Structure 1
């Protein structure tokens, strides 16, 4: 199966030694590099195990004006605890962390889980703002959220779009990041490098990216019924062992009803392929990111065994992380790792904070 690292190597996202690194972990935790299904590892029980789906909702949802957005976010834990910001991907929402958040809150963390632009209750403040989803714009949204909430430093944790966003902040503004959990590792995009074609099987894995490059794909995302069918198909394909029910998907699909959802999703994937322009005001950040900056903060990288974009056991972008570091493979789960293996993800956050 073609992986995100193969894709990344072809387009300049990440290279390096194919080795499992557990630098910075005690021996007992190093022994648990490949946790059991659901992430039940053999490391010290710093976080109690919880079954995926144990929680169905967040107790507190809030809104705050930050930058160009009015950002909706869930919050859990003590108001003055150390902050963890959990970032979702596509086609997902804050409920990827519905089981992770209470685990971390019980450890004393203040957990913030924002809807990314174009998702859920997050709204643009002005109709005139470009519905731009290039990578640096989304990263600056999270910095603006931190500023609005008066959070100077936080542990950042994410998957998919969330990993990319957290990676960017850790690379360009490391003083704002106490530690990092990045599912799938180094995902910063180099648009110019993405002009390189891939092996046919790899192109097949990214089918929706090319579908969204067409007007037919755009219209499909604008139609609510078709949009939900498409997103659910992606869930099935990238998490082949996850036995989620209709209610679980429907809960997340409500976040897709945001009026800017289609525009943001389409722009994100077209921009990555060089088929849509970004904004000049983000140009300097994109120039820095194209150089593949190193990430110096303490980091735990997670790979999921059944994620079609992962190569479990082959930590090929290790060279991009220059601080304390650990790499782990989570067995039995797919792409939506925090929702499929909340205990393993929460433990990774706690351990990253201790590196």
Structure 2
């Protein structure tokens, strides 16, 4: 798919556009380690239903670039939320349906929580995706700590070197571990792996996984947003949560109590046979949920 470049906040964002420019807006947001190809089974179907579908490459991925060499290469949660809001402003989108998983789901949850007037509805993989950074020093169950091995690895210079020098093998392993039943092709993997050649990919990823554990400073320009997120704001707009039954990094039990933070929750669906890369593995639930929220939004 061809992309356009959009000047938005700190970034020049590469965006793929589908559907009529005057249709109801839907923004689809990918995670780590992935890119816009995650939504190839979703975006055309929504466009055929008359939606204006916006699929951006996140900071550090694909053709997206930081505008200023001095801007910190930060993957912290406030950056992802600020990027999404800036992109909506730049495209003249006053209100949109949002859908995302992993990093993209975090961006969507942040905008839905802090700027609910901009969001008509949200489909979020794995529930309430705003980090509790203040509590990051509290150990999780050993099984979950083991699932996050890659995060601890990236706290070391050896891990940074591994991601820098061997990023395809590193991420290929994560695809296999996190979605154990998904039989992706090597051509499918290669099409997305090219996005990780972005010159800021490694720095952005490393800062993301260090910042959430208070092992790296954040961007000073984002302190105001981080302060608001520290309060764990509720998401009050209509939300549907999807969760892969076989998610190898964030198992379904992790979102079982998400209603406590999402008073707008319509329902939570655990998708059988699917893992972490949910839009790629099972696009249909995303299409159906976004269509449902779109029909019910005022």
Question: TM-score band (shorter)?
Answer: over 0.9
What number of residue pairs does the alignment pair up? 295
> 1:279 Cα shift?
2.2
> 1:354 Cα shift?
3.2
Quick one: which of 302, 311, 317 aligns to 2:258? Answer: 317
Where does the alignment leave 5 or more consecutive residues of structure 2 unmatched? none
> 1:173 Cα shift?
0.5
Contact kept in structure 2, 1:313 and 1:329, CA below 8 Å: no
Q: How does 1:140-151 map to 2 (within 5 A)?
A: 140-151=82-93
- For residue 116 of structure 1, what is the aligned residue in structure 2? 58
Contact kept in structure 2, 1:98 and 1:339, CA below 8 Å: yes
Distance 2:225 2:253 in 1: 31
Quick one: which of 251, 269, 273 aligns to 2:213? Answer: 273
Distance 2:220 2:183 in 1: 44
Q: Which has the higher contact order (CA 8 A, sep 6+)?
A: 1
Q: Give the 3-state SS of the residue equivalent to 1:132 in structure 2.
A: coil
TM-score (norm 2): 0.96
Q: Give the 3-state SS of the residue equivalent to 1:195 in structure 2.
A: coil
- For residue 49 of structure 2, what is the aligned residue in structure 1? 107
TM-score (norm 1): 0.81
Q: Give the 3-state SS of the residue equivalent to 2:276 in structure 1.
A: coil
Quick one: which of 94, 108, 133 aligns to 1:191? Answer: 133
Q: Give the 3-state SS of the residue equivalent to 1:242 in structure 2.
A: coil
Q: Give the 3-state SS of the residue equivalent to 2:247 in structure 1.
A: coil
Q: How does 1:1-355 map to 2 (within 5 A)?
A: 58=1, 60-223=2-165, 226-308=166-248, 309-311=250-252, 315-323=256-264, 325-355=266-296
Contact kept in structure 2, 1:116 and 1:122, CA below 8 Å: yes
> 1:316 Cα shift?
1.0
> 1:241 Cα shift?
0.5
> 1:280 Cα shift?
2.5
Contact kept in structure 1, 2:127 and 2:255, CA below 8 Å: no
> 1:312 Cα shift?
5.8
Structure 1's 313 and 130: CA in aligned 2 closer, same or farther, altered over 3 A? closer
Q: Give the 3-state SS of the residue equivalent to 1:321 in structure 2.
A: coil
Regions of 4+ moved over 4 Å: none
Distance 1:297 1:222 in 2: 39
